[in-house]
Structures are given as C-alpha cells and as structure tokens.
Chain A
Amino acid sequence: MSYKLLGKNFTPHDVLAKVTGQAKYAEDFRVDGMVFCRLLTSPMPHARVRSIDTTEALKIPGVVGILTADDVKNPPAPAPTILTNEPRYVGEPILAVAAVDETTAQDAIEKIKLDLEPLPFVINPLDSLRPNPIDARLDGNVGAQGVKLQTIRWTKEDFEQADEGKLPMGKAGEDWSYGDIEAGFAKSKVVYDETFVTASNSHHCMEPRTALAYWQNGKCFVHGSTQSQSFVVPGLAGLVGIAPHELVYIAEFCGGGFGSKGAAYPVMAIPALMSKKIAKPVMMRISRAEEYAVGHARNAFIGRVKLGFGEDGRLLAADMYIVQEGGAHNGFWDFRNAADALSIVYTPESMRYRGVPVYANTPTRSAQRGPGENQIACALEPLLDRAARDLKIDPLQIRKVNTPKIFDSQVGNDRRKVTSAYLGDALDKGAARFNWAERRARSGQRKGSKVTGVGIGQAYHPAGANGFDGLCRITPDGILHIHTGVGNLGTFSHSGTARIAAETLKYDWEKCVVERGDSRKHLPWNLGQFGSNTSFTMARTNYVAAMDALQKIKEIAAKDLGGKPDDYDVDGTKVFAKNSPGRSLSFAKVAQRAIDLGGKYDGHELPADINPMTRASATALAGSGLIGVAKDTLPVGGETAAFACAFIEIELDIETGTHRIVDFLNVGDCGTVIHPMGLDTQIKGGSVQGFGLAALEHYVVDPQTGIPGNVGLYQAKPPTYLDVPDLKADWVDKPDPTSPMGTKGIGEPPLGAAASALVCAISDALGGHLFNRTPIRPDMIINAIAKLPPAHKPMQIHTA
C-alpha cells in the first residue's frame, strides 16, 4: 500500500528548537518570585524518623519553608512515597526545604536535627525469603502490581534441596503453566538447568527530574520532566491532591526517560506541594547524585531456567523461576514480562513460570526500556547457543526453528493471540544482510590476543494498546490541528502518529500543526509515551478522530452541494463530488460552515464515550472550527507485539577482557514504517543502550551499608561515543492487521536484541562459556579465561 506521508521522512517540528538551544525543559523556565527547594534524603537504607527539629534551620535568613511527610498525603503503600517518615533506601526524600537560593536551603538542611532509628535492611532478596529473614518493609516482603503485598518465607528444606550455586525455588508470588513440561523434558535430547543473575542499571536520563511549580488563579502549574503528557495529569493531580482539571501540566520537552518518567512519579509533586504551603513558585532541581536514588533503575533478577530441546533444536519444555529485586516500593513487573517474552520468542511447546517479586532496601525501580523482556533475553539467548552447539546446528537455525508463526502465535499464561509476529522474516533479512554464514565461519579465529566472536540476539515487547481518544480540528484558515496528548520522549512519534490523521484526510503536512506539550493546548486523553505503544495506540486515536472529521466534512458537502455524504471524497485541500470534481468546497470553507452549523460539527455536541479530559479539551475548542473527536473503539485482534533481532561480530581481547564491536546490525519487526529516519535512530539508540546493559553499566549497592556505589556517570558508565561503532539498522516493514495503517511500536526490543547478541558473541569468543550473568565485565572474562572462579558468589547481586 502506498501512502502520501507514511513511510516518508520529514523534519519533526521540534528538532529546530533542539539544535538551537531554544527547546525549554523544566529547568529552563523562570517565574517571578521563584524560590528553590532542596531535599533532605535518608542516609540509611531503612529507618524510622523519631523526630525532626527544624528550629535552627528556620532561623536562617532566606529560608521560606519546610515540607515534611506530615504535610503530604502519600499514595497507599506499597506505592513509592512523596516524602516519608520511614525511609526504605539511601537517598529516599524525608523532607524538603525551600529558600531564596539552593545554598541557603542546603545550609538549612545541615541545621536540621534529624533523629533516625535504624531498622534492619536487606539488599539481596534471597535474604528476605530465608527462614530467619530480614525484610525491607515492615508490612510485608513480597509484592508488586498484580501480586498483593504479603509475606512469603521459604523453608529450610527449600534452601537445602537446591544444589550448590542453584537458585532454591520455594513458594512463588505468582505462577502459571501450559502443556506438560515433564513430558517435554522427558522427550528432550538436551536439557539445561541454569541459575542466572541480571543486574540493575540506572536510567541515566541526561535531564535530571527537575520540576517547577506554582499556583495561579486556583490552578496548579507544573513544568515537569516526563515522557508523557496527558497520561501524567490524573496521577500528578492525585499526588498534589487536586482534581485533574485543576492542574496545568507542561512537558513540551523531556530530556530522556527510558521508562523512568512514563507516568507521574511522587518526587515531582514536591515543588507543587511546597508552593502551596509557602505561596511562592518553587523550582526543585534534582542533582545527578540524587537522580541515582530517586531517578529509578531497572529491576534485578536472580533466576533459574530449565530448557529442554529436541534433536532439531525445537524447545519442547521451559521451566522458569524468577526472584525479582524490585526496590523498597512497588516498581514494575519485569518478572512477569520475562515469562511472556520466553513464551513468545521461543514458543516452547510446554512451559511453567513462577515468580516472586521481593522488596529490598535499594533505590526506586521502574520500567526501563524492555522491562523484563530485555534482561531475560540476555539470560536465554546464550542457552540457545549452548543447545545449538551441543546439537550441532547453526545458531540461526535454532532460532528459526522456535520462532513464532506470523499469525496466531500466543503469549503468556492466558495464551493471548499475537496480532503479527515477523521475527522470522527479520532473522532472514538480517542473516542475509549480515552474511551470517560467512561471519559464523570466523567464530573463534584468533589474531594475536584477539578472538572473534559472533552472536545473534532476539527480543520482544508488546507494541500497542487501545481505547484512548483522538482529537483534531480544521480551522477556517484551512489548517489541520492535530491535538495529541502523547509526550516528547525523543522518538518524534508525537508527529509520526499525527501524520496518521493527516494521511487519513490526505492533508499536506505543511498545512498541519501538531498541538502538544501543554494542557492549555487542549489535548485529548492519550496513553503515555512508554511501552513501545505510541505508534499503535495513537495511530488508532488519530485515525478515528480524522475519520470522524472526514465524515463531518462529507456531510457538510452533502448539505451544501446536494447528494449524500458518500458521494464525496477529499483531496487534502477540499471535499469534492466523486462524479463531478468541480463541485467542491475548500477545507477552509468547510471549517467555517462547521462553525455556522454548530452542534456536533464544531464541538458543541460531543460523543458520550470520550474521556472527561478529551471532553473538556473539545469543549474549550468548540466553535473554532470543524472538530473531529472520537474514542478508539476499533476492533482489537489480540496483543500487538514487536520483535527485533540483532547480529554482531566482536573482537575479544583475551589479555585485557575487553571487546571491540566490529560490525553490528539490528532488524526490527515494527509494522508499517511511519518515519524511516526516526525508526533508524530508535533502533540504533536502543542498540547502544543494549551494549550498556550487556557489558558496560555498573550497578553497585554495598551490602554492609546499603549505600549505592555508582552515583556518577563516570562510575556507572553508560556507553559513550568510544564504546560504539558505526551501526546498521533495518526493518521488515510489514503491516500489523489490527492497526488502521499497519503501524506498531518498536522502541524496546532493539535494546534486548543488541544486548543479548553481544552476550552471545562474548560467549562465542570464549568457546561457548556461559556467564549466566549480565553485565559481563572484563574481570569476569579474564577470570573465565584463567579458569579462576569469578569475584562474585553465584547469586550475589549489585556487584558489578
């Protein structure tokens, strides 16, 4: 299918501001009378506040107010807190001080007498499952969204039954299964039972989560740093204690989120609450060091997986257990996603999954690009290579044997149908372009101290949701305004999906304006910009809004020019009679006629099923043009899925344990391509983060003190220019049948594909050595080559 706009490159409207420095992020705004606030954060991993004496602090000239946990209404436990009297990790905010400047605020913080009662703390989740446990929380040790807050203990026998170095598997927090795994293992040619660890890593958003807030004329104004726009509003309003319509939220630009700024997060409510208390605008700048505490990280896994393969490499049975270290509050359900990923990427004939999300006194967690799916790729992909090695089949072949069918594949416990899965096509395309067979022949070749390793990695993530609203408007100047409530994560999908509306009305892009980034732009209720969903979810909303506009345009034409609405079509500037193109009305004139007609045409009458936010926005716009507004009630055909597979060749230096990426290709299954250049940068950017996850990024928490170790970029080491070679990206470009124009998301899988490909290549260069741990650091490689034990114990976490 050929489109006017889709599949073609364009320059998103916000790029110019980004290259000139005119783009305004939260810390770039100034308000008259603005004061600054700083946080007093917990020096202990778990404690109870006995008392706070602010007398001396308040005497310091320039101090204007102090906000404590007693002033705020925290969301119900075990959700993360705004401010707390029971800090559960080092760096958790206890109180905030506002002053005329930051130095004064910091001076005041030093004068505060804080009496803390230390409480026991736990870093490794297994220590909270033992019969003599230490718990991270006083109200339970296990919980997550979908798993109720509870206490789970494993028995002495559970621990004794596990062999040395193997994960014990006591009572789980959730489990599911399908098929007969015992029969599957019985008929398997090879069976592996591996215990693995996948580390946490910080999000490292370049923009710390600064926020500015003030109250004016009964409304609360917040300039925040979030990936999302409309989706943030109800959550943030709730944290501030107001109705959503009382909040004006501005997030036109966001300096990186990667999952950590997807929805409202508690710390961003502090300036709004402080501002309310002291009646002054409040700027809260978050430092880089603080960002490592309140700025979220990926969940860590201690897991165990048993895989049974047939002679042809088919995965006959899979049995996986995951213990998630998820921080001290509810973060994200990576453990559950990991099981879904196993079930769809390798389509095991039978599978059992058990998971237990355990709290620990470590910094806050949230989704990070491919939460669960991408960690588990790093654990599972090398096991496929192990099976391929033992069964003497090609690593590409074993992946092809297990790849999901394009249609009718199923995912997860309830065997949800996947709308399309072109992973097999992606593997074929990648293998051909990467000359896989030729590369494979180089595996293990040695030149001096350098050994060649090659690898393939695969990953999955859901790629869309449904049920949100679309809103567009044609004004009497003929301009199409596409109102979008998605955020600005840097993917340009705010404009990419807006082009779906333009495409539907055959509009010239030059005649379109994307309205976004500020509640005052009258935005519809949209899902957040996370979870690789935008290119599907908001393709649907913009499509239904544009279809509503199209119908109204045709009706107006029929009213004015005679005939029935179906007698008319549009060409991007006008509506015309199909059998007599000269009989036409310009879009500008149609917009004016919509205003004249009123009612549903100009937004004075609205559909009953739209969200209150959309209703308020459309009502505010009523009378200004022809309004297209609708809720996405298009048919839902199952779970939309995105896949990626990556191919890599590395040179591993066996003397230093370091590696150099020689060549790299990542191929996405992303549905119809909306914006080739934007897609290209998403795949490559995800790949870079994948290299970090696999082999570069450190995450350390001292088990003796609970103090996070790597609280600087130079310590935690996200990839730099020097870590990354020139990259290649490609895609399958086949439409998803449940998306109006075939589009779906792709943001997350390229990360997991790249990460697991690199893990596989390192393993390949070492003759198939399994580390069962990411990141693979040079010291681990050196020890493996020297046949020395690794520096960490098997199930130790936060060590690298």
Chain B
Amino acid sequence: MNDEASRYSRREFIKRVIASGAVASAATYIYGGLSGCSTKGQTLVAGGVERLVSINVNGELRRVDVLPQETLAMTLRYKLGLTGTKLGCDRAECGACTVMIDDVTYYSCSVLTHSVRARKVVTVEGVGGPNGELHPVQQAFIDELSPQCGFCTPGQVVSAVALLKRNPKPTRDECRAALAGNLCRCGAYDNYLNGVMRAAQGAVST
C-alpha cells in the first residue's frame, strides 16, 4: 500500500464506524479538538453510542467523553493524560501502544474505547504498586539496561507483566513468543528477555 492508500483505508475504517451510529453535542469541539478526532457531520441517531462513558483505567473509574470512532490509545493519551502508551504505527504493527484489558494484552491503537466499558484497562502507568513501587519487570528492565531509545519500552513492560501474570515461570522461548508482537528497532531484544527472566526468577524466590 502506498501512503495515500494507507491513509484512506484508515479513514474508511473510521467512516464505517461513524455510519454505524453517532452522537454529537456542542461540547464536541472542546473534546474533539484535543483528541485529534472530529465529530463534524455526525448527527444524533436513535440507539446510537452514548458518549460519556466510564472506563476503569489503572484501578480508577474514569468518566470520559468519547467519540464513537475513538481508539483507546487516543483516549488514554489525549483525554486521560496517560502518554506512557505510545503510538508507533497506529495500525497494530509495532506494539508500542500495548495495554492490558482484563489482563489480556491488546494494541490500544486498534481497540475502540467504547468497547472497553466495564472492563479493566491497565497501562504502563498502572503496573506498579499502589505507592509508586516499580513492578518487578520494570526494576528488572532497569537492572538489565533493557531500553535503549525507550519508545517501545512501555509496550514491552505491559506485555511482560501480562505474561508473568499468566505464566510466572516462563522459559526464555515462551518470553520470546509472548513479546513477539512488540517491535524494538534498537534491537534490544536480548536485554528485554534478560529482564523478563530476571523478573520471573525474582518472583520465584520471593
């Protein structure tokens, strides 16, 4: 696909969502403006999606005004101030936007915020302890000097935390498979794997 084609394909995706039912209000520009999304041209449709929704993010119930076509990554980054979730591709290729939804990893760039109502979303800002303690994976990534540029790191952290939740004692190859959806152009794969193994060993000994 070329540049133009890629852009249109995403727009088509958004347009289809809009066509499926949308709500607009006078507040649109305030919220829409910051979101990078627009509601222009959308009209009130009976049975449409409610805009003001509650989502559970990092253990807190957050009320947020969400456009029908809005992705979770945009909501987190532009409405909830959680910029730890990165957008590297915005099309489910790189994994920098990985979050957990009910303990399962998702690319938040490709999840509609409306679909996570009543579900538990955890971002990199929410994996640590209640008093700001680092998650063992975060500490291990520091100890192993896992990040280089650091842009993919939040996604790597979330994928590793999710892995250890479901498999506290993974093999190195299981780590590799679990993190395979998180690209790192710096090529720090070895160091991230060392980090996950270190975190897993720590969990075993304690």
- Contact among B11, B34, B84, B90 for A106, CB-based, below 8 A: B11
- Contact among B1, B150, B185 for A14, CB-based, below 8 A: B150
Per-residue CB proximity of B82-97 to A under 8 Å, as 1/0?
A: 1111111111011010
Of the listed stretches B35-43, B100-108, B111-119, B162-170, chain A binds B35-43
Asked if B52 CB lies within 8 Å of chain A CBs, one says no
With contacts A25-B86, A27-B87, A714-B93 taken as known, whether A707 is within 8 angstroms of B2 at the C-beta atoms is: yes
Asked if B188 CB lies within 8 Å of chain A CBs, one says yes
Which residues between 184 and 206 of chain B lie within 8 Å of chain A, taking CB atoms? 184-191, 193
Asked if B138 CB lies within 8 Å of chain A CBs, one says yes
B152 to chain A, nearest CB (A): 5
With contacts A206-B184, A685-B187 taken as known, whether A61 is within 8 angstroms of B40 at the C-beta atoms is: yes
B121 to chain A, nearest CB (A): 14
Complex Cα gap A105–B50 (Å)? 26
Asked if A2 CB lies within 8 Å of chain B CBs, one says no
Residues of B within 8 A of A714 (CB): 93
Of the listed stretches A302-310, A640-648, A715-723, chain B binds A715-723
Per-residue CB proximity of B133-154 to A under 8 Å, as 1/0?
A: 0100010011011111111111
With contacts A253-B150, A288-B91 taken as known, whether A689 is within 8 angstroms of B187 at the C-beta atoms is: yes
B142 A19 Cβ-Cβ under 8 A = yes
A711 B149 Cβ-Cβ under 8 A = no
Identity of the chain B residue whose Cβ is nearest the Cβ of A255 in the assembled complex: B151
Residues of B within 8 A of A107 (CB): 38, 40
Asked if B45 CB lies within 8 Å of chain A CBs, one says no
Complex Cα gap A253–B193 (Å)? 23
B47 to chain A, nearest CB (A): 24
Asked if A740 CB lies within 8 Å of chain B CBs, one says no
B138 A19 Cβ-Cβ under 8 A = yes
Identity of the chain A residue whose Cβ is nearest the Cβ of B7 in the assembled complex: A289
- Contact among A36, A104, A684, A712 for B190, CB-based, below 8 A: A684
A490 B90 Cβ-Cβ under 8 A = no
Asked if A70 CB lies within 8 Å of chain B CBs, one says no
Which residues between 684 and 723 of chain A lie within 8 Å of chain B, taking CB atoms? 684-689, 707-709, 711-715, 718-722
Complex Cα gap A23–B147 (Å)? 12
Complex Cα gap A268–B1 (Å)? 25
Complex Cα gap A239–B145 (Å)? 36
With contacts A208-B88, A255-B151, A287-B7 taken as known, whether A101 is within 8 angstroms of B33 at the C-beta atoms is: yes
With contacts A253-B150, A289-B3, A490-B148 taken as known, whether A724 is within 8 angstroms of B190 at the C-beta atoms is: yes
Identity of the chain A residue whose Cβ is nearest the Cβ of B180 in the assembled complex: A721
B24 to chain A, nearest CB (A): 13
B202 to chain A, nearest CB (A): 15
Which residues between 40 and 98 of chain B lie within 8 Å of chain A, taking CB atoms? 40, 77, 82-91, 93-94, 96
A271 to chain B, nearest CB (A): 14
B64 to chain A, nearest CB (A): 16
Asked if A663 CB lies within 8 Å of chain B CBs, one says no
User: Majority SS of interface residues in chain B?
Assistant: loop
Asked if A20 CB lies within 8 Å of chain B CBs, one says yes
- Contact among A90, A681, A684 for B3, CB-based, below 8 A: A90
B127 to chain A, nearest CB (A): 9
Asked if A194 CB lies within 8 Å of chain B CBs, one says no
Per-residue CB proximity of A1-31 to B under 8 Å, as 1/0?
A: 0000000010110111111111111011010
Asked if B120 CB lies within 8 Å of chain A CBs, one says no
Per-residue CB proximity of B154-180 to A under 8 Å, as 1/0?
A: 100100000000000000100011011
A254 B149 Cβ-Cβ under 8 A = yes
With contacts A91-B3, A290-B3 taken as known, whether A19 is within 8 angstroms of B134 at the C-beta atoms is: yes
Asked if A346 CB lies within 8 Å of chain B CBs, one says no
Residues of A within 8 A of B93 (CB): 288, 712-714
- Contact among B3, B7, B138 for A20, CB-based, below 8 A: B138
- Contact among A20, A288, A680 for B134, CB-based, below 8 A: A20
Residues of A within 8 A of B128 (CB): 20
Asked if A207 CB lies within 8 Å of chain B CBs, one says yes
Residues of B within 8 A of A293 (CB): 3
B191 A684 Cβ-Cβ under 8 A = yes
With contacts A289-B6, A490-B148, A712-B91 taken as known, whether A62 is within 8 angstroms of B38 at the C-beta atoms is: yes
A8 to chain B, nearest CB (A): 13
Residues of B within 8 A of A445 (CB): none
Identity of the chain B residue whose Cβ is nearest the Cβ of A36 in the assembled complex: B36
User: Majority SS of interface residues in chain A?
Assistant: loop
Q: Which of B154, B180, B187 has the most chain A CB atoms inside 10 A of its CB?
A: B187
A288 B189 Cβ-Cβ under 8 A = no
- Contact among B1, B29, B152 for A62, CB-based, below 8 A: B29
Residues of B within 8 A of A289 (CB): 1-3, 6-7
Complex Cα gap A12–B154 (Å)? 17
A77 to chain B, nearest CB (A): 24
Residues of A within 8 A of B21 (CB): none
Contact residues on B (Cβ < 8 Å of other chain), bracket: 35 or more
Residues of B within 8 A of A19 (CB): 134, 138, 141-142, 146-147, 150, 153, 157
Residues of B within 8 A of A709 (CB): 2
Asked if A157 CB lies within 8 Å of chain B CBs, one says no
A457 to chain B, nearest CB (A): 16
Residues of A within 8 A of B134 (CB): 19-20
B188 to chain A, nearest CB (A): 6
Identity of the chain B residue whose Cβ is nearest the Cβ of A38 in the assembled complex: B7
Identity of the chain A residue whose Cβ is nearest the Cβ of B87 in the assembled complex: A27
A101 B38 Cβ-Cβ under 8 A = yes
Asked if A285 CB lies within 8 Å of chain B CBs, one says yes
A652 to chain B, nearest CB (A): 21
Per-residue CB proximity of A33-66 to B under 8 Å, as 1/0?
A: 0111000010100000000000000001110000
Identity of the chain A residue whose Cβ is nearest the Cβ of B172 in the assembled complex: A726
B40 A104 Cβ-Cβ under 8 A = yes
Residues of B within 8 A of A685 (CB): 148, 186-188
Residues of B within 8 A of A488 (CB): 149
Identity of the chain A residue whose Cβ is nearest the Cβ of B11 in the assembled complex: A106
Asked if A150 CB lies within 8 Å of chain B CBs, one says no
B34 to chain A, nearest CB (A): 8
B11 to chain A, nearest CB (A): 7
- Contact among A18, A60, A208 for B150, CB-based, below 8 A: A18
Asked if A597 CB lies within 8 Å of chain B CBs, one says no
Identity of the chain A residue whose Cβ is nearest the Cβ of B84 in the assembled complex: A21
A61 to chain B, nearest CB (A): 7
Which residues between 289 and 319 of chain A lie within 8 Å of chain B, taking CB atoms? 289-290, 292-293
A724 B83 Cβ-Cβ under 8 A = no
A678 B123 Cβ-Cβ under 8 A = no
B125 A684 Cβ-Cβ under 8 A = no
Residues of A within 8 A of B11 (CB): 106
Residues of B within 8 A of A91 (CB): 2-3
Asked if A623 CB lies within 8 Å of chain B CBs, one says no
A712 B6 Cβ-Cβ under 8 A = yes
Asked if A102 CB lies within 8 Å of chain B CBs, one says yes
Complex Cα gap A707–B177 (Å)? 34
A713 B94 Cβ-Cβ under 8 A = yes
B133 to chain A, nearest CB (A): 11
Identity of the chain A residue whose Cβ is nearest the Cβ of B2 in the assembled complex: A707
Asked if A491 CB lies within 8 Å of chain B CBs, one says yes
Residues of B within 8 A of A711 (CB): 1-3, 6
Beyond the given pairs A61-B40, A720-B183, 4 more chain A to chain B contacts, judged by CB atoms under 8 angstroms and listed by A's residue number, are: A206-B151, A288-B93, A681-B188, A685-B148
Question: What are 27 residue pairs bridging A and B, where the CB atoms are less than 8 Å apart in the complex?
Answer: A11-B145, A12-B145, A19-B157, A24-B83, A25-B151, A28-B83, A62-B29, A91-B3, A102-B38, A104-B38, A206-B151, A206-B184, A208-B88, A255-B152, A285-B87, A287-B6, A288-B89, A288-B93, A289-B6, A292-B3, A684-B187, A684-B188, A689-B187, A714-B93, A721-B176, A721-B189, A721-B193
Name A residues whose Cβ lies closer than 8 Å to a Cβ of B. 9, 11-12, 14-25, 27-28, 30, 34-36, 41, 43, 60-62, 90-91, 100-104, 106-107, 203-208, 253-258, 285, 287-290, 292-293, 488-492, 677-678, 680-682, 684-689, 707-709, 711-715, 718-722, 724, 726-727
Closest 6 CB pairs of A and B: A21-B84, A688-B187, A255-B151, A18-B150, A490-B149, A490-B148
